[in-house]
Amino acid sequence: DGGITQSPKYLFRKEGQNVTLSCEQNLNHDAMYWYRQDPGQGLRLIYYSQIVNDFQKGDIAEGYSVSREKKESFPLTVTSAQKNPTAFYLCASSNIMLTGVNQPQHFGDGTRLSIL
């Protein structure tokens, strides 16, 4: 089945620890995104990538890092510099159209990160 796979589903982080969230897609989408959602809040963009080996900061990039070494993969590292990492993390992907018309984003089923 085509889709986006995020792992793990649940993750616990100790103080001072970096953790990496995995996101893989087999939809052949060019663009990939990471969002953070806090309880009762909307989605906030952390990082996004339009093409392999290129990515841009979103609205709340501090304390996070990403890489895009393959089209299919866009892992997110939550570093120890992120002081309030407890949240629901969502990865998404989308096509990019030459017409310039935005396309919908498709989401993985998310990773819940908590502090130990």
- Residue 51 binds other proteins (CB under 8 A): no
Would you mind telling me the total number of residues written for the chain in this entry?
Answer: 116
Provide, rounded to whole angstroms, the least separation between the CB of residue 37 and other proteins. Answer: 9
**CA–CA dist 95, 31 (Å, integer):** 6
**CA–CA dist 109, 21 (Å, integer):** 12
- Residue 27 binds other proteins (CB under 8 A): no
Q: Which is nearer to other proteins, 33 or 74 (CB)?
A: 33
Provide, rounded to whole angstroms, the least separation between the CB of residue 15 and other proteins. Answer: 26
Site residues (vs other proteins, CB under 8 A):
30-31, 33, 35, 41-43, 45, 48, 50, 88, 90, 94, 96-97, 100-110
